[in-house]
Amino acid sequence: MKMLWTLILTVVPCVPALSQGVIGTTTIHFDPNSGIGTATCETALDSDNGFYESRTSCSVVDQYGTVVATGTADDPGDRQGSAAVTVTFTGTPGYTYTATSMHQAAPTVPFDTPPGQPAQLYDEYNFQSFAENPESYDDYWEWYGPGPQLPTKQRVIRIGNTYAIAIRYYTPTELSQLITSAQSLFPAHCDAIFASVVGPSYTNANFFAQLRITSIIQYPPGATPPPDIPNPLDYPDADTQIGQPGKPIRVFINFYPTKSGFAFPSFREFVLIHEGLHHYTGWYDFPKAGFSDFKTKFYNSGYRNNGSTTGPFTDWLHAGCPPAPPGS
Amino acid sequence: MHSRSFAYFPLALVLFSLFTATPLLAQLATTSTALDIDKVDTKAFAALFRRENTYLQMAKSARSPASPEAHLDRVLPQQFELNADSSASLQKIASDWERDTGVLRTRFLQVVAQFHSTFPNGRLGPGVDSTPPSEIAELHAQMDTVTLQYRDKLRNAMQEPNFQKLRSDVEKTFAHYPPTTSASAPIATAAEVQK
């Protein structure tokens, strides 16, 4: 009979114990309107028995490893059963940010220690076994304590990490500001050439008004490439989908800031003017049967491009639409 | 009646090995799909409700409307593509969930404090029983039940396709389905503590 009781009392607790663990989550989100980033890191105890408190530390770094936000949270007394920290930050367009949570459990009950020995705590689920080689998972993970019960000298046990990654896109306001800046930087001589070449339908106000309402599709570093340009190495600075409804503009990696800056300070503004003209006129960069193109249309105004890339038109605009060099 | 005396470790190890090898445990490990979904949902929706309450609290206590924290009430609606009605429902339901689970959490803390007070000098050690009172597991089960009730309230408050999309997104974000493989890792509940 005694053996039977031992069997029952020993085996039965094994079953519900299967679900006891530590849940770690990390989320990162950018408000598409404000560009403000929010990262939240949470450690939660799953079906705990009051032997731990959860703790979380959170850090957000950009693609260069610069720390942009940090925070910590704990849950003294295991009052909530979880510890979450939320940090906010202002990101740079085109940068990729990684939020990383370090999930920890702090044992709360002392374990009897012989005199003269370092103090120990009761580790009910042997979470200390995770501390030897903490693992990282994206977004979410639950670490189930493997047992057995052990004493530990660790006052805070590092369980593992979770992380989340997000790209900061330009906000509509930032793109609108770039267009406003482009309008102010647009050389008067180029404006006159546009009026002459495009014809009476062109006005400066109408051109930039159209640009402001044009859909701009973003492909910053790390974004999924469009099907027609699967390799980011083949990205142009930008292009305009002349054959698509609404003739949307697409901007690619070079349109986003890096530590080394842009080809020239007002690069983005003149790229937008370049693409805006595609949108406005429906003209291509190079001659194409049945269509008009910049190379032909602006030849008499001084634009020359003997290469196969379209950047020279942006450069020509930026230079103030100068006449062609003698002999070219 | 206590069951987790450390002295039971060798026997527990043998029994656990035998137990895990039986078809019975295999059956337990592959519980019904509905139970698995509910288990995932208790974690996922509890995390969603906690997150909603945290963001709203931080947004309300923002220093000014221009401060970054003031935008936090928009994060979850944007992240999970909730319309205004769904967002309002989530706010209300998350708040009610916190109130109801808070009552259970308070009771949980009382039971834990009482349980821990039984340890000699507040310490555990060889020969000291660390078996938690069954009320703790019951309270966890009640908290899970409340979470599922509030999940269902949210479901009733939303259009079904919108709820299913939210549920899928929330599960991807805050819990994984099916439960992670490490769930099969057993916990030895009657271990001998090495000093």
ipTM of this complex prediction, to 2 decimal places: 0.85
Closest in A40, A82, A125 to B187, CB measured: A125
Contacts of B193 (CB under 8 A, 6+ apart): A111, A149, A150, A151, B6, B125, B126
- Inter-chain residue contact A139 with B6, CB threshold 8 Å: no
Quote the pLDDT of residue B3: 39
The residue in chain B having the minimum alpha-carbon distance to the alpha carbon of residue A112 is: B125
pLDDT over 90 for what percent of chain A?
Answer: 88
Rounded distance between C-alpha atoms, residue B75 and residue A30, angstroms: 8
Closest-CA residue of chain B to A141: B175
Residue of B nearest to A111 (CA): B124
Mean pLDDT, rounded, for A107-130: 93
Q: Is A207 exposed, middle or buried (0-12, 13-18, 19+ CB in 10 A)?
A: buried
Using an 8 Å CB-CB cutoff, list chain A residues near B131: 13
**Structure tokens belonging to residue A159:** 């369980």
Angle at B108 (CA atoms; ends A20, A130), nearest 5 degrees: 25
Question: In angstroms, rounded to a whole number, what is the distance separating the alpha carbons of residues B179 and B194?
Answer: 32
A·B CB contacts under 8 A: 181
Chain B positions touching A103 (Cβ under 8 A) are none
Q: Does residue A307 carry a pLDDT above 70?
A: yes
Q: Which helix (H) or strand (E) holds A27?
A: strand A21-30
**Residue B109 and residue A34: Cβ atoms within 8 Å?**
no
Chain B contacts of A147, Cβ < 8 Å? Answer: 186-189, 191
Model confidence at B37, pLDDT cuts 50, 70, 90, reads confident
What percentage of residues in chain A have a pLDDT greater than 70?
94
The token pair that represents A322 in the structure block: 């100068």
For range A291-320, the mean pLDDT: 96
A101 and A43 Cβ atoms separated by less than 8 Å = yes
For B80-92, the pLDDT digits (tens) are: 999 999 999 999 9
pLDDT of A55 reads 98
* Most confident among A14-28, A59-73, A140-154 (mean pLDDT): A59-73
Question: How far is the C-alpha of A234 from the C-alpha of B192, rounded, in Å?
Answer: 63
pLDDT band at B177 (very low <50, low <70, confident <90, very high): low
In the prediction, which pLDDT does B34 show? 74
Query: Sorting pLDDT into bands at 50, 70 and 90, what band is A29?
Result: very high
> pLDDT grade, residue B45 (50/70/90)?
very high
Between residues B30 and A205, which one has the greater pLDDT? A205
Interface of A with B in 140-179 (CB under 8 A): 140-151
pTM of the complete model: 0.85
- Quick one: pLDDT at residue B9? 42
Min Cα separation A301/chain B (Å): 48
Any CB–CB contact under 8 A between A2 and chain B?
A: no
Contact A146 B9 (CB under 8 A): no
Lowest mean pLDDT among A46-60, A81-95, B170-184: B170-184
| Interface check A76 vs B, CB under 8 A | no
- Kindly report, residue by residue over A249-262, the tens digit of the pLDDT: 999 999 999 988 99
